Amino acid sequence: KQEVTQIPAALSVPEGENLVLNCSFTDSAIYNLQWFRQDPGKGLTSLLLIQSSQREQTSGRLNASLDKSSGRSTLYIAASQPGDSATYLCAALKTSYDKVIFGPGTSLSVIP
């Protein structure tokens, strides 16, 4: 059974810092891994999707990496801004027709 965990549960940083959010999964046989952002009271927005054959994906100030052998993914946020404050969730998909399992999320607060 796939289990997804995220560390830390909460993070508070001053504006401008670079930061790393961690995601771990127990079953390394994943199809893809996604990172999402959720603002309070809102739905989830997909940020980056990494296929199992890829090592990383980049979008603007965001970079996500995937290491299947160690069961880990990281989301790197460069030059953090107050607008980055949100909850970040990772989710693993085992096969193309399987269910998506989410981690509990990391609540990020960027202080001006």
Partner 1 sequence: NAGVTQTPKFQVLKTGQSMTLQCAQDMNHEYMSWYRQDPGMGLRLIHYSVGAGITDQGEVPNGYNVSRSTTEDFPLRLLSAAPSQTSVYFCASRAGTRRGANEKLFFGSGTQLSVL
Query: Site residues (CB under 8 A) for partner 1?
Result: 32, 34, 36, 42-46, 49, 51, 89, 91, 93, 96-97, 99-105
Say which residue the tokens 């990391």 belong to.
Answer: 106
Give the nearer residue to partner 1 in terms of CB position, either 64 or 80.
64
Give the nearer residue to partner 1 in terms of CB position, either 77 or 101.
101
Residue 88 CA to residue 67 CA, distance in Å, equals 19
Give the nearer residue to partner 1 in terms of CB position, either 43 or 112.
43
Q: How far is the CB of 111 from partner 1 (least distance, A)?
A: 23
